[in-house]
Amino acid sequence: MADDGRQTDSGIEIKPVYDAGDLDGWDPATQLGEPGRFPYTRGVRKDMYRGRLWTMRQYSGFGDAASTNERWKLLLSHGSTGLSCAFDLPTQMGYDSDHPRSEGEVGKVGVAIDSIEDMRLLLADLPLDQVTTSMTINATAAVLLLLYQLVAEEQGVTGDKLGGTIQNDILKEYVARGTYVYPPRPSMRIITDIFAYCQKNLPQWNTISISGYHIREAGSTAVQEIAFTIANGIAYVEAAIAAGLDVDEFAPRLSFFWNGHNNFFEEVAKFRAARRMWAKIMTERFGAKDEKSKLLRFHTQTGGSTLTAQQPENNIVRVAVQSLAAVLGGTQSLHTNGFDEALGLPTAKAAKTALRTQQIIGYESGVVDTVDPLAGSYFVESLTDAVEAGAFEYIDKIDGMGGAVAAIEAGFMQDEIEAAAYAFAKGVDDGEKIVVGMNKFVDAEMEEPEVFPIDPQLQINQIARVKKLKETRDNSAVEARLEDVRAAARGTQNLLEPMKEALRIGVTLGEVSDALRAEFGVYQPSR
């Protein structure tokens, strides 16, 4: 049989046929193990989806808080089992809606949250002790988490009853996404303060979702996605230990966030390899004793960068393929993109179709009836080993540079991602990589698609709301609480304690961020 040189997206050679010889020397006991047991290749729970399906989330957030609250209630009524929140760029960057830099961006790519008043509207009439909420927020993660906790407390839900996740992964912002505010090292302090605060006050909350998703969206390969993400995870663990936390005190609440792409078997292998790698690292490198510290629990979102504006209905198929790979790889939580997201925010119809995709996989496909159904496949196990080896090679390089923060400061990860992105784009342009509907099987004419409407009045109303708050509150008390935040930043006190008291009395997200900017400075990339 001729070998035509096929490779995965990461450049791993794909043979025409796999057999037992491809697993020569392979030890099922050490490489595979049993589900729910070290090294967790086969899953983090013994029964996996036979016991409980993954959490079906739909990423949503747009306009003002009341609009997003309505969408969340719609999704819950259609069977969504978890909430996932997108925030607009001003909220992500630490600016209030009335700031000049917020002009034109309020409510555009997510919901605008300026203060506790907005959070009350966002969470109105939601069962916060029953539903978990994932918030895609990084530089201002502490602020959004505290606002969430404050509103929950007003509703009578104590911290020990709250469950959810903040992304809180600032390192990948410097690498791949750009919504950073402060320099890396003070940002790492905020993260370790969140770890310590949640251990004491929000024990069920996932304190970080170490994200490969945006690394992949920036153009990385699958191997780079898990290598750079796990390297960042190592840096967070090291920072927390350096801050005086015991690894088994915070590691059980760490979680990960992966991208789901189209190269089906490489994606399955990626998920399985990442789980095994983290278990080894936490055991051998950090000496974790608690088995929960070794579990790589993860959320998956299907690949936004794989969606096409051309023939958008094709994206339904792409999302289904990516979702199935995530499920066969053992995800704990899944978001499926709307088929129209290459054009704008998902319409209600697209969001419902995306949710139904998950439900069909979960309830009709039969793939949930046995744990890790691809285990033992010559191809899948060989590919899992190859992905793991490639990722550890990258991690060794990063360790040699002094760790993830040093590698980011040197531009190493950024350069590697840029090269991979260029190679992929060139392959599409040259026709070596086929994207159906875009560079092959192209339609001469495109139908005019339905696009999610943005109401410009929402920005006007949001600005008016935050201005009214600033005019009517006790501003002398506001200044006192902000000075408490600045003093904590200058010292060693946990930042979240004074931040919470400031937010409680109506201090805004932008004002808290400005107080930290005054002490920490603003990050300016060197290149």
Domains, in order of start, for the chain: 20-429 (3.20.20.240)
pLDDT of residue 320: 98
Q: What's at 270, amino acid-wise?
A: K
* Mean pLDDT of the region 43-55: 97
pLDDT digits (tens, 9 = 90+) for 399-442: 999 999 999 999 999 999 999 999 999 999 999 999 999 999 99
Query: Over 90: is that where the pLDDT of 24 sits?
Result: no
Query: Over 80: is that where the pLDDT of 2 sits?
Result: no
Long-range residue pairs from 402-411, CB within 8 A, at least 24 positions apart, any chain: 403/231, 403/234, 403/235, 403/238, 404/171, 404/228, 404/231, 404/232, 404/234, 404/235, 405/171, 405/184, 405/185, 405/188, 405/235, 407/231, 408/171, 408/174, 408/175, 408/184, 409/184, 409/526, 411/526, 411/527
* Mean pLDDT of the region 74-96: 93
Q: Whole-model pTM?
A: 0.93
How many whole angstroms separate alpha carbon 216 and alpha carbon 223?
10
Query: Over 80: is that where the pLDDT of 449 sits?
Result: no
Share of the chain above pLDDT 70, in %: 99
pLDDT of residue 400: 98
* Mean pLDDT of the region 21-39: 91
pLDDT of residue 3: 65
